[in-house]
Chain A
Amino acid sequence: MDTFLLILINGCAMGSVYALMAMGLSTQYGVARILNISHGEFIVLAAFITFVVHTRTGIHPLICLLIACPLVFAISFLLHITLFKRVKKISPNMGVFEGNAILVSFGIYFIVQNMIQSSMGSAPHSFPFMMYPYTVGGVNIAASSVFVMVIAAIICVAYSVFLSQTRLGKSIRAAAQDPQAASLLGVKINRIMAICFGIGGLLAACAGVLITMREPFSSVSGIGYTTIAIIIVVLGGLGSVKGAILGGFIMGIAGYAISTFVDSVFMISAFYMIIMVLLVVRPKGLMGR
């Protein structure tokens, strides 16, 4: 029973970070139609920003959100209005654009990864953070896990409120559901796509900052995060925030269960097993239309 509780709570803590990663990827693909292979690199970038700022200045890692989020948003937004906008313009249709955009994002993946690697090396990095335990239902839970879960939940709720209540959020939802119809109603679709690509980066930065509080990371961790995010987006249903959150928790708990009972090296292959079953049983994802 204790083991199950431990898996549940730790899985949820990891899952909440996965949910942020997946929400970011889903926003980028759902609206801007870019399956961003470099998504994980921006998670790693934010993680290193947090690591450097926190270890050098002693600033609380959570405060690093205020540095990493605007920075990664700006980089992503600029990448869209320079690179991707141009690629979209020269692609004859959206199908071709999606293919080209994947190739471009592969390029960004290598560039960002190499830049981080050349300045930070390939060794795993971590710092001690809230190492003391909480006792919940008879098991000891790291305080950091609870902290990360709470912050991630706040970000998820804030993002949902943003999407449903603000003017920009409404135009993003409309653009995700039907870009043509949205543009016809006066929504500036190219601008929305750039903003959504930026928001995807911002959510990646949130995930990156929170990851530093839980587990070691290195300059080559990025592609693993991207892979997990892609799996969760497929699991949860494309473009669905609820799906990303649900999928994130499922994968977080499944990942912890596999590491506990089998071996953590099987985690990704087990994730893919889940996806293969899902694609046969419910191809549109758990919350997909």
Chain B
Amino acid sequence: MSSFENILVGNGITKRFGGMTAVSNVSFDLRKGEILGLIGPNGAGKTTLFNCVSGFLKADEGTFTFEGKVINRFNPDKICHLGLGRTFQAAKNFPDMSMRENVRMGALFGQRDMTYAEAERLTDETIAFVGLEKYAGVAVPDMPLAMQKRIEVARALATKPKVIMLDEMMAGLNPAEVSEAMDLVRKVRDSGITVLMIEHVMKAIMSICDRIIVLHHGELIAEGPPQEIANNPHVIEVYLGGEV
């Protein structure tokens, strides 16, 4: 296992809630520069795994290694400063702040020793990158869902991450918005950021991911390129229900 290639490695991750094992002995690697899809039925443990990586939950067993450094015991702010950004399934924007203020929070606090002037510049740059310029003056709760999810992406990008974890960024979007979101994910990857994404929209996951890992009842049941996953009998049985 080369530490240059694998930017984030999970090794034997287990997380229990009381008697329920949400994530069970999961190992995966995230290769620098790729888009890795994380799929699985509801309750498979995908978001729990995200929560463990980003420091909200502490894994009971196993280690996460980010750029060669074990990050299990770090708090979320430290993990952010190391270069791991994420979004949430239900957009967690700050409702009392404008779109721009939301993004600026990421710019202002995401890196140590950030000056105001630098944060302002980064905020404008990030807003332009995700294409939200025309919403500058709109209150966040009044924006369409697709745009609210985009703010979250912008806010995470403003922290200048090396890895971004997207939690169901495309859920609830219409087909046109999904394809715009797919373009954004590709653009993020092309800018040099490694992407780990949880997604249910199969069209998106199959066309943009380099590799996919599949969780079922907290266990990793498959790993491989999209075509291989789509034809994996076990995956079809537990997850795709024979559709593909």
Q: A residues touching B (Cβ–Cβ < 8 Å)?
A: 167, 170-171, 173-174, 177-178, 180-190, 289
Q: Are B77 and A189 in contact (CB under 8 A)?
A: yes
A189 x B97 contact (CB < 8 A): no
Among A174, A180, A186, A187, contact of B56 (Cβ-Cβ < 8 Å) = A180
- Whether B96 and A289, one on each chain, are in contact in the complex, defined by CB atoms closer than 8 angstroms, is yes
Contact of B92 among A173, A178, A190 (CB under 8 A): A178
Q: A209 to B44: give the CA distance in the assembly, Å.
A: 56
Residue pair A183, B92 in contact (C-beta under 8 Å): no
Known: A177-B95, A180-B92. 6 other contacts (CB 8 A): A174-B105, A181-B88, A181-B92, A184-B86, A185-B109, A289-B95
CB pair A186 B110 closer than 8 Å = yes
Considering only residues 74-125 of chain B, those with a C-beta below 8 Å from chain A are 75-77, 80-81, 85-86, 88, 92-97, 105-106, 108-111, 116
Chain A residues positioned under 8 Å from B80 (CB to CB): 183-186
Given A182-B105, A184-B80, A189-B77: A177 in contact with B96 (beta carbons within 8 A): yes
Query: Do B105 and A185 touch (CB < 8 A)?
Result: yes
A contact residues around B116 at 8 Å (CB): 167
What CA separation (Å) do A173 and B98 show in the bound complex? 13
B15 sits at the interface (CB 8 A): no
Q: In the complex, which of the residues A181, A186, A189, A190 contacts B93, with contact meaning CB atoms closer than 8 Å? A: A181
Q: What's the dominant secondary structure at chain A's contact region?
A: helix
Q: Name the one of B75, B88, B95, B159 contacting A185, with C-beta atoms under 8 angstroms.
A: B159
Selected A-B contacts with CB under 8 Å, 26 pairs: A167-B108, A167-B116, A171-B109, A174-B97, A174-B105, A177-B94, A178-B93, A180-B76, A180-B92, A181-B93, A182-B105, A183-B55, A183-B77, A184-B77, A184-B85, A184-B86, A185-B105, A185-B106, A185-B110, A186-B77, A186-B80, A186-B81, A186-B159, A187-B105, A189-B75, A289-B96
* Residues of A close to B92: CB separation below 8 A: 178, 180-181
- Interfacial chain B residues near A170, Cβ < 8 Å: 105, 108
Bound Cα distance from A183 to B86, whole angstroms: 11
Instruction: Give the nearest-CB partner of A289 in chain B.
Output: B95
Q: How far is the CA of A188 from the CA of B116 in the complex (A)?
A: 18
Contact (A188, B108) CB under 8 Å given A180-B92, A181-B93: no
* Shortest CB distance B139–A (Å): 12
Q: Which of A174, A180, A181, A190 has the most CB of B within 10 A?
A: A181
With an 8 A cutoff between CB atoms, is B149 at the interface? Answer: no
The answer to whether B54 has its CB under 8 Å from any CB of chain A is yes
- Chain B residues whose C-beta falls within 8 Å of the C-beta of A181 in the assembled complex: 88, 92-94, 155
CB A277 to nearest CB in B, in angstroms, measures: 26
B17 → chain A closest CB, angstroms: 10
The answer to whether B155 and A185 touch across the interface, beta carbons within 8 angstroms, is yes
* 1/0 contact string of B49-69 vs chain A (CB within 8 Å): 000001110000000000000
